[in-house]
Amino acid sequence: MKRKHRRLSFVALALLALGAAVALVMAAFEENIVFFFSPTEMGQKEVDPTQRLRLGGLVEEGSITKAADGVTVQFVVTDTVNTIPVEFRGILPDLFREGQGVVCEGRLINGVFKADEVLAKHDENYMPPEVAQALKDAEHWKEKMQDSKAE
């Protein structure tokens, strides 16, 4: 094979690989992208109960309860304006607590968010950027900060 041909076939192969990758990525994105909503946004949108979503905000103070089976936990996620009740079966992360930022992943079924994953962070001072944004959007971010500092 001549050098020119070889280079050409190399480029063709690379393009083929890239094309296949793009096709793979597009197909995978189509099905597996998870949108993030704040409680306010989730209330406004028509949400398909089969669609996986992320819900982020603060865990409302005093909202954590256990269902009769002892394993299912219910709590309320708030952006200080609107709230969404959440249900989760399993052991919550160590840093999960009332008043802290949280991100839940799952589905919204009949107004209740059935989470199969709850993410709290490794670090107490960390606020997930989406949650911070959601709170900012709710225009309560600054007050909240002052409150927590005053405490």
Least separation in angstroms between CB 122 and other proteins: 5
CB 38 within 8 A of CB 56: yes
Counting contacts by CB under 8 A, is residue 13 touching other proteins?
A: yes
Three-class secondary structure of residue 12 per DSSP: helix
> Of 91, 149, 142, 101, which Cα lies nearest the Cα of 121?
101
Residue 97 vs 140, nearer CB to other proteins? 97
The Cα 118–Cα 101 span in angstroms is: 11
Q: Which is nearer to other proteins, 69 or 151 (CB)?
A: 69
The answer to whether the CB of 56 falls within 8 A of the CB of 77 is yes
CB 121 within 8 A of CB 129: no
Q: Which residue in the set 42, 59, 84, 103 belongs to the binding site for other proteins (CB under 8 A)?
A: 103
Would you count residue 133 as binding other proteins (CB under 8 A)? yes
- Residues at the contact surface with other proteins, assessed by CB under 8 A: 1, 3, 6, 9-10, 13-14, 17-18, 20-21, 24-25, 27-29, 31-37, 54, 66, 69-71, 89-92, 94-95, 103, 105, 119, 121-126, 128-130, 133
